[in-house]
Amino acid sequence: MITDARALRPEFVPRDLHHRDGQIDHLSSVLAPIQFDSAENVTIFGPSGAGKTTIAKYVLSQLERESLGIRWGYVNCMADNTPAAALHTIVRDVNLGADLRRRGEPTSLALDRLRECDDQVVAVLDEVAVLDERPLVALADLPNVSVVCITIDEEEWLTQLSSRTTSRMQSAATVRLEKYDLDELIDILESRATHGLIKSRVDDEAVKRAADIAAGDARRGIALLRRAAQHVEQNDARELTIEAIESVVDDAEDDIQERRIRSLGTHQRLLYNIIAEAGEISGSELADEYEERAYDPKSTSSRRRYLESLRRYNLVEASGNGRARQYRPLT
C-alpha cells in the first residue's frame, strides 16, 4: 500500500503546492532581491495545517536552486526556544557552525558567524511566538540576514513584543493563509496519495472523507491518510476505504498530539507534564511545582509564552485569570 512514506509525513515538502499560488508568488517576489542584496523581513500568519511552514521551505528551496550565494536555515522555536538554542540551530542549519554546541557557547559567536558570511542568509523562525524577541532582533539587525517569522495569531504575537520590535515587524512583508476549503484539501490529499500510496487501491471517496474530517487542516488530513494506510497494511486489506479512514480518526489525532509533545522544549515539556500529572492545576500551584522541579527556572514572561504555546497546540486548556487560572490537559 505505501510506496513512499515521505509523502505521508507532515514535514514533507512536495514538488508542487496546490492552491497557494498567490501566496507563493507574493513570498517569492519579496525574497527575490536576496539574489543580489538583502531582502525584506517576512511574517507568515495562519491557522494550524494551512501550509505556513511548507510554503516558506518551498519558496526558499526554489531560490536556493536558482541562485548562488544564498543560504537559509530553519528552527522550530517550540523545540529550540531559548536565544542560544535558536541562534545555534540557525547557524548550524546554514552550515556555519557544525562545531557550535547548543549550550556553553555564547550567542555572540553564532551572530559573528552569520555576520562574517559572504552569502545572504534567510533565517526561518517557526512558532516564533514562543521565542524571546532578542534573537529575532539580533538576526534582523545583521545586514546580510533576512528573517521569516511564522506563527498562528498575528495580534497575539505582536502584543507580546516591545514597541520598537512591534513597529519593525509590522513593516515587514506579510503573507496570510486561511484554512483550505474542502475541494482544496481533497486535491492536496489526492496528491499525497498519488505520491505515497498505490493509488489504484485508494478509494476516491475515502480521500474525500479524510478531507471532510480534517476540516481544512492539511496536517490532520495527511495524518488520517498515513494511519489508514498503516491500518490497511496491518490488516492485509486490499483497499483504503471510507471505513479505514473512520476507524483511525482517534489514532491520527493521537499521532498529531504525540508529535507535538515530542517537539516541546525542556521547560515546555516540564510544564505540560506537571499539568498532565495533576489532571487540573491552578496557575499558582503550577508555578510552585515548576519552580521546585525546574533546573534554572525561566522567567514569568517566558513561562507565560510557553503555556500559551501549549494552548495553541491544543495540548492544554485554561480558564480563569492570573495565578487562579486553572489548567487541564487535552490529551
Give domain limits for the chain.
Answer: 20-176, 182-256, 264-329
Query: What is the mean pLDDT of each successive set of 10 residues along the chain, which is 331 residues long?
Result: 91 88 94 83 95 96 90 95 92 86 73 93 96 94 95 92 93 95 96 94 96 97 96 92 97 94 93 96 94 93 92 91 84 72
Q: What CATH number is given for 264-329 in this structure?
A: 1.10.10.10
Evaluate whether 43 touches 173 at the Cβ level (below 8 Å): yes
Does domain 182-256 sit in CATH 1.10.8.60? yes
Q: How many angstroms separate the CA atoms of 74 and 90, rounded?
A: 6
Here the contacts of 293-300 (C-beta below 8 Å, separation 24 or greater) are 294/267, 294/270, 297/267, 298/267
Q: Give the ranges where 177-248 is alpha helix by DSSP (H).
A: 182-196, 204-214, 218-234, 242-247
Give the architecture-level CATH label for domain 20-176: 3-Layer(aba) Sandwich (3.40)
pTM for the structure as a whole: 0.92
